Chains A and B, each alone.
Chain A
């Protein structure tokens, strides 16, 4: 008997589901990302036109958090690993800059390399322990590690302790103060964000990313075909931590100030909100989420001192009425079905 005889009679292949296939196959996210990056690249022209240089400063800060949110999406959106300590990596990255600068090492490449190394190491150790747990316990243990890092920096009085530490100047590249100008700095951060996006997009579609996504959907199935999920999840955790560390390097330079507040659990929570708000597991969503969250925060803070209440109400409405976050909303109104 030939194999095709085994197919049930009276059924025709469904021709439509092609566009409901896994979200990263879609051209939609690439298009959306292209639009966002193009808009960002042209933003300095707008800033010049309306003579508002503060716009660049705000945009740079938003892109830095977008980079961190993007890294969180790798483990949260593609790994279903709800890390409540992701801000710790931003803090460790930022402190790498501040502490090295305090000892006269100003070069951005050295600082970034150290930040990535420190964050990878921290992610490897804490991830190896945290990933032994599941669900709520994973959330709790990542929160605990985040708070440990926070209190370590609070107690590190040599580098400002609770008050933080001010940088004398932004980092240099081979002795040249290239990040001094807001415009250059803006484009450096934009390039890093775009680079991280393109890289992570390849990663989630790669062999590695496929194992990560498969484990997210059905861990037992992955083990039953011969995978040991732990090492893939740990690797993703390290990659996410390293990228968030890089965001920290930029954040330190943007503010020219570093404090433990960067790594508080509230910050970790905000990163989760950005990812969920934008749309988990889409990569482009968290970027949009960071933009929306920080703009909304700024805007609400201008109208009322009780802005956090307004933000809360907005988030509740958003979660209730837009499944899949901003990315889900956009794909619905453009008729691409649920992402």
Chain B
């Protein structure tokens, strides 16, 4: 039997008296796209910080591929195959699109304590980076400055960088944030394609996208997971309707 790729047990985080992550447990199976939804302030971003390792948890554990990585830092988790994207685009504006991705390849390709040979001319790094860019449809933008991309393209680059790390599991933090209708259609199609090769934890506000993509959905409200199940199960779950979907429909 194959175990879960990501196994979250009783994860906690409090800022003072505020329990932002309150006893959260869930599992992500290999090949699954697991969406985490919840209203604003539900603690989704805090949870992704805890999963990616940029924020230490107060309690509970995170297991990745059977290994306890609760105390492993962000860089260590990336090396094990767990990479994240950012809700607020976090790319290196001054570098080319290609270098943004090549840097992620470099991080897993031998030592970076090499001082003399030009990194920008390392063909193996650039080839692997180009493959990641092609996957998200940015290969024709490779030599542009990353800062000059449109917002939607920057969102695509976020995903390409995560891909270029060689990760098995992608933590995508609101990849559709701030995108227009056309841009989000591109990204949804991209994620549907990524599903075929990667396990994905998707945090997203866009309900249409979540219900179109997710194999399973977990609903986070005030730091607690109130439901986990298929899109259909979650959609009809009474607590979810009152806590979350009801609000949306009323609005």
What residues of chain A have their CB less than 8 Å away from a CB belonging to chain B?
Answer: 1, 3-8, 11, 13-14, 17-18, 20-22, 25, 199, 202-203, 205-211, 213-214, 217-218, 220-228, 232, 235
Contacts and interface: CB of A to CB of B under 8 A. Distances in A.
A224 B116 contact: no
Contact of A221 (B52, B92, B112, B150): B92
B73 A3 contact: no
Interface stretch (B35-43, B185-193, B209-217, B236-244): B185-193
Contacts of B144: 13-14, 17
Contact of B118 (A8, A205, A232): A205
Contact of B152 (A8, A13, A221, A222): A8
B182 interface: yes
Nearest to A223: B74
Given A3-B136, A13-B141, 16 more contacts: A1-B189, A3-B134, A8-B150, A8-B152, A21-B145, A22-B99, A207-B113, A209-B119, A210-B99, A210-B112, A210-B120, A217-B93, A220-B54, A221-B91, A224-B52, A225-B78
B182 A8 contact: yes
Given A8-B186, A211-B112, A218-B92, A223 B137 contact: no
Contacts of A220: 54, 86, 90
A5 B186 CA distance: 9
A320 B206 CA distance: 46
Given A223-B74, A224-B78, A225-B165, A13 B140 contact: yes
Query: Which of A1, A13, A225, A232 has the largest number of chain B CB atoms within 10 A?
Result: A225
A4 B156 contact: no
Q: What 4 A-B pairs come out closest when comparing CB atoms?
A: A6-B137, A226-B78, A226-B107, A225-B104
Query: Which of A4, A20, A206 has the largest number of chain B CB atoms within 10 A?
Result: A206
Interface string B159-171: 0010011000000
B137 A3 contact: yes
A22 B146 CA distance: 11
A88 to B, nearest CB: 24
B12 interface: no
Nearest to A229: B75
